């Protein structure tokens, strides 16, 4: 079976997140793209080998040539178009975050429940062998009992016109970057945290967080810190899990195909390995999505996981004195 993809929008993330892995996957075909600007869609299709350009998102969802859609639209549009696509009978790979807030995420889950389609949030890093290796070590008790953890994702993005700084589009550092830090901690510790406190750097005193650090507590008294920033001097994507016998330090966890390392320290002795640098997290994600579509199996980042992530994000904003991102009204 070939899964025929349509793309909503011509977002900059799409060549890495879908185009390249699709061209490398014999079970995927890129058949259509639609954007608000048709000329932009035409340029995108010509550049990336997409067969058709359709006039609107609705036209793409109505196309019998499309089996699945990839949604890389602004955060504020993820929920609505996920529901529209699923109700049109299309499988959905939607960029993170799943929705603008937890309430909207629950609304999406309720709306698509029971539909015969796969809906998966695109936390691509989750599918890479680097993360599987860290999970394996923790499951084996390699560092003893976990006592603390931290994860950080920083980039340098000074352009305040970027959509990540836009309140109306559900922007903010935590929505765009911190969601990875939070999701990794939840993944590795296999439980849900309580947000103890959080501090944010606001943009011009408003509701957008340029940076945010959240202090979490996981079951068993495990303390953790999840942080992110849109405006640091250099990119950083690092995590450390500390146990009673040692630690696991991970570099490059968000984009492991761009270079990664895992350092295991036990009883004072350290070993470092680079895990599957030739495997792209986007390719692994697409393969997992296609397998779920073709075989009907479960997805790793399922609806319950997506809701739980948004619940933590909302709690981080409240703890920092900010509002959870506001959902754009939509009805179907």
pLDDT tens profile 190-224: 999 999 999 999 999 999 999 999 999 999 999 99
Residue 332 has pLDDT above 80, yes or no: no
- Alpha-carbon span 280 to 76, nearest angstrom: 27
Share of the chain above pLDDT 90, in %: 97
Provide the pLDDT for residue 78.
98
pLDDT tens across 111-150, in order? 999 999 999 999 999 999 999 999 999 999 999 999 999 9
Is residue 257's pLDDT more than 80?
yes
Nearest C-alpha neighbor of 228 from the set 162, 151, 163, 323:
151
Catalytic residue annotation: 96
What whole-number percentage of the chain has pLDDT above 70? 100
pLDDT band at 4 (very low <50, low <70, confident <90, very high): very high
> What's the pLDDT tens digit per position in 272-331?
999 999 999 999 999 999 999 999 878 999 999 999 999 999 999 999 999 999 999 998
Please give the average per-residue pLDDT across 80-93, as a whole number.
98
pTM: 0.97
For residues 66, 69, 70 and 72, what is the CA-based torsion angle, rounded to 10 degrees? 110
Strand partners, 227: 152, 213
Average pLDDT over residues 226-230: 98
Contact present, 103 and 327 (Cβ < 8 Å):
yes
State the Cα angle at 55 between 108 and 28, rounded to 5°.
65
Q: Is the pLDDT assigned to residue 228 strictly greater than 80?
A: yes
Query: How high is the mean pLDDT of the chain?
Result: 97
The answer to whether 82 and 308 are in contact (CB under 8 A) is no
The pLDDT value given to residue 105: 98
DSSP 3-state percent helix, strand, coil across the chain (nearest 5)? 35, 30, 35
- Does the pLDDT of residue 254 top 80, yes or no? yes
């Amino acid at each position: 079976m070939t899964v025929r993809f349509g793309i909503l929008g011509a977002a900059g993330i799409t060549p890495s997140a879908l185009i390249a892995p699709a061209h490398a996957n014999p079970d995927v075909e890129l058949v259509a793209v639609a954007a608000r600007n048709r000329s932009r869609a035409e340029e995108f299709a010509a550049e990336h080998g997409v067969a058709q350009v359709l006039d609107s998102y609705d036209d793409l969802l109505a196309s019998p040539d499309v089996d699945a859609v990839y949604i890389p639209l602004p955060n504020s549009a993820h929920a609505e178009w996920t529901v529209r696509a699923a109700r049109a009978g299309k499988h959905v790979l939607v960029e993170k975050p799943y929705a603008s807030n937890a309430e909207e995420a629950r609304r999406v889950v309720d709306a698509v429940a029971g539909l015969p389609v796969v809906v998966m949030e695109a936390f691509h890093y989750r599918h890479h062998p680097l993360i599987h290796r860290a999970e394996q070590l923790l499951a084996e008790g390699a560092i003893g009992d976990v006592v603390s953890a931290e994860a950080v994702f920083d980039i340098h993005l000074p352009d305040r016109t970027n959509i990540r700084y836009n309140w109306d589009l559900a922007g903010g550092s935590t929505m765009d970057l911190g969601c990875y830090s939070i999701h990794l901690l939840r993944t590795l510790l296999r439980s849900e945290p309580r947000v103890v406190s959080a501090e944010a750097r606001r943009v011009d005193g408003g509701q957008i967080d340029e940076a945010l650090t959240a202090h979490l507590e996981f079951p068993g008294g495990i303390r953790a810190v999840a942080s992110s920033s849109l405006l640091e001097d250099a990119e950083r994507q690092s995590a450390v899990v500390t146990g009673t016998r040692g630690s696991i330090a991970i570099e490059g966890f968000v984009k492991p195909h761009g270079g990664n390392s895992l350092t295991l320290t036990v009883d004072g002795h350290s070993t470092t390995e680079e895990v599957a640098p030739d495997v792209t997290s986007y390719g692994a994600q697409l393969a997992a999505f296609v397998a779920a579509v073709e075989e009907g199996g479960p997805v790793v980042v399922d609806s319950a996981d997506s809701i739980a992530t948004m619940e933590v994000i909302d709690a981080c904003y409240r703890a920092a004195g900010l509002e959870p991102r506001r959902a754009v009204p939509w009805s179907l």
